[in-house]
């Protein structure tokens, strides 16, 4: 029998809440973290709003040493270290002593692009023939694995310490990578998650593609509208989410609290064939990913009672809902409850899957379904497939049993993880 894997710790650094307490309150009460960004207006962006975590300087000082803070200019690393360290503490795990690492614990923490502002700073110094002013942490802040390296050193993890990157699928893919390592017996626990930098140099390419909403600069909270008839593009976001995955045996042995169980999942690619492209999913690939995830988890299609979709507030939302319906062979009032959290904090890019997974898992403990923001005017094509009662507008009492969380990313890559309520 393969090892059972559970989630024993959560951490989050999101646009609508830094730390589990504030984030949970924001999700329960429909609080948006999407705000006007003066810098984007100054740079003449069409979309001048975004989701960015609000972090006080004195908070950062609690997570980094004075030496680490010297020259630190990588927002993704800050977000990831806060979320990852908090998840470790939430799991009740100790930091390894200086003499020896914890050989049974590892880190798989992903990102899309890291240290953009540090890169920009470094380019100017090099071009000004001031390379000696770059500082000793420039490489660490700009290498993709910088986030896992920082966390690995802070926590003292001696198992695999690495970084994955699969665009918007990164966080969800990382959960499955961690799950597989524990199932195979190669680690007892893995801290997994993902992060994304903030700022115009990250978001500019999307503004240039004209896939961001431009008519909500004076009303930011209303801009991200998943599944809505008036959806006009995704709002860019940033931050980090983190989860501690652990073998059930180890969790029970140390008396850890358990949020939920990871039952299984699947990753694949649509190969950019059929209607799939660099920026659009191949529907057959999406459906195969969902079906394969259920088979891997040993779950029937009828058992899924909650979906947390990718659902970015674009025209592709209708296609995604259709894919879920066809993959599960369900529609109308038989369709699972479905939510998208991008109305709360936008599309956090590489951090999306991990932040949304943290929110999804909180629903198990709270015995609630968090509502969908800004989709009172459900898209008519979606209503043809899903009864409106299955898309809650506000948080409601409910005890999830089987939750399917999926992410679909640029490059036509897919990941779907199946979470289950824990019953020992």
DSSP line for 384-419: TTB-GGGS-SS-EE---SEEEEEEEETTTEEEEEEE
pLDDT tens over the chain, length 424 residues: 789 999 999 999 999 999 999 999 999 999 999 999 999 999 999 999 999 999 987 999 999 998 888 888 889 999 999 999 999 999 999 999 999 999 999 999 999 989 888 878 888 888 888 887 888 788 888 899 999 999 999 999 999 999 999 999 999 999 999 999 999 999 999 999 999 999 999 999 999 999 999 999 999 999 999 999 999 999 999 999 999 999 999 999 999 999 999 999 999 999 999 999 999 999 999 999 999 999 999 999 999 999 999 999 999 999 999 999 999 999 999 999 999 999 999 999 999 999 999 999 999 999 999 999 999 999 999 999 999 999 999 999 999 999 999 999 999 999 999 999 998 6
The predicted structure's pLDDT at residue 412 = 95
- The reply to whether domains 5-253 and 265-416 share a CATH topology is yes
Q: Cα(400)–Cα(212) distance, rounded to whole angstroms?
A: 33
- The domain limits of the chain are 5-253, 265-416
Residue 269 C-beta-side C-alpha neighbours within 13 Å: 13
Q: Are 239 and 79 in contact (CB under 8 A)?
A: yes
Q: Are 293 and 266 in contact (CB under 8 A)?
A: yes
Collapsing DSSP to helix, strand or coil, 173 comes out as: helix
The predicted structure's pLDDT at residue 379 = 97
The predicted structure's pLDDT at residue 211 = 93
The predicted structure's pLDDT at residue 424 = 60
Residue 206 C-beta-side C-alpha neighbours within 13 Å: 24
Residues in the chain: 424
Q: Between the CA of residue 317 and those of 9, 230, 234, what are the distances in Å?
A: 31, 12, 11
Q: Cα(188)–Cα(206) distance, rounded to whole angstroms?
A: 39
Q: Cα(281)–Cα(293) distance, rounded to whole angstroms?
A: 17
Q: Are 215 and 260 in contact (CB under 8 A)?
A: no
Q: Cα(4)–Cα(363) distance, rounded to whole angstroms?
A: 21
Q: Cα(12)–Cα(239) distance, rounded to whole angstroms?
A: 8
The predicted structure's pLDDT at residue 135 = 80
Q: Cα(224)–Cα(280) distance, rounded to whole angstroms?
A: 19
Q: Cα(311)–Cα(419) distance, rounded to whole angstroms?
A: 19
Q: Cα(323)–Cα(415) distance, rounded to whole angstroms?
A: 14
Mention the CATH class of domain 265-416: alpha beta
Nearest Cα neighbor of 405 from 366, 379, 370 is 370
What is the 3-state composition of the chain as percent helix, strand, coil, each rounded to the nearest 5? 40, 20, 40
The predicted structure's pLDDT at residue 330 = 98
Q: Cα(385)–Cα(136) distance, rounded to whole angstroms?
A: 56
Q: Cα(375)–Cα(386) distance, rounded to whole angstroms?
A: 13
Q: What is the DSSP string of 271-284?
A: TT-TT--SSS--HH
Q: Cα(84)–Cα(270) distance, rounded to whole angstroms?
A: 31
Q: Are 212 and 322 in contact (CB under 8 A)?
A: no
Q: Between the CA of residue 316 and those of 119, 226, 273, 365, 374, what are the distances in Å?
A: 33, 10, 17, 31, 17
- For the domain 5-253, what is the CATH superfamily, name and number? Thiolase/Chalcone synthase (3.40.47.10)
């Amino acid at each position: 029998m393969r090892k059972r894997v559970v989630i024993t710790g959560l951490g989050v650094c999101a646009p609508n809440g830094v730390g589990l307490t504030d984030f949970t309150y924001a999700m329960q009460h429909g609080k948006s973290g999407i705000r006007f960004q003066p810098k984007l207006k100054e740079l003449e962006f069409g979309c001048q709003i975004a989701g960015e975590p609000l972090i006080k300087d004195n908070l950062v000082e609690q997570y980094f040493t004075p030496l680490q803070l010297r020259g630190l200019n990588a927002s993704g690393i800050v977000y990831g270290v806060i979320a990852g360290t908090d998840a470790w503490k939430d799991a009740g795990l100790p930091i390894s002593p200086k003499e020896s690492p914890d050989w049974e614990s590892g880190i798989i923490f992903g990102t899309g692009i890291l240290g953009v502002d540090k890169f920009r700073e470094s380019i100017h110094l090099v071009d000004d023939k001031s390379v000696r002013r770059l500082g000793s942490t420039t490489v660490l802040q700009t290498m993709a694995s910088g986030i896992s390296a920082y966390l690995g050193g802070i926590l003292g993890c001696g198992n695999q310490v690495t970084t994955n990157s699969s665009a918007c699928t990164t966080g969800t893919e990382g959960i499955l990578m961690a799950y597989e390592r524990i199932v195979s017996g190669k680690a007892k626990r893995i801290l997994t998650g993902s992060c994304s930098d903030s700022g115009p140099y990250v978001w500019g390419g999307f503004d240039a593609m004209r896939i961001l909403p431009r008519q909500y600069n004076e009303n930011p909270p209303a801009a991200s509208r998943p599944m809505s008839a008036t959806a006009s593009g995704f709002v860019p976001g940033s931050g980090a989410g983190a989860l501690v995955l652990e073998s059930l045996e180890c969790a029970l042995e140390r008396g850890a609290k358990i949020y939920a169980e990871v039952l299984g999942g699947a990753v694949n690619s649509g190969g950019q064939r059929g209607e799939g492209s660099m920026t659009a999913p191949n529907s057959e690939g999406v459906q195969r990913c969902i079906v394969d995830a259920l088979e891997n988890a040993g779950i029937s299609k009828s058992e899924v009672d909650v979906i947390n979709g990718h659902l970015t507030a674009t025209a592709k939302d209708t296609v995604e809902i259709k894919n879920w319906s066809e993959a599960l062979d369900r529609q109308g009032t038989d369709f699972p409850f479905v939510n998208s959290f991008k109305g709360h904090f936008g599309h956090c890019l590489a951090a999306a899957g991990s932040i949304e997974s943290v929110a999804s898992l909180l629903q198990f403990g709270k015995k609630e379904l968090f509502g969908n923001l800004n989709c009172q005017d459900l898209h008519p094509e979606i209503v043809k497939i899903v009864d409106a009662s299955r898309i809650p507008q506000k948080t409601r009492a409910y005890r999830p049993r089987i939750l399917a969380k999926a992410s679909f990313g640029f490059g036509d890559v897919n990941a779907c993880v199946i979470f289950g309520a824990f019953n020992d």
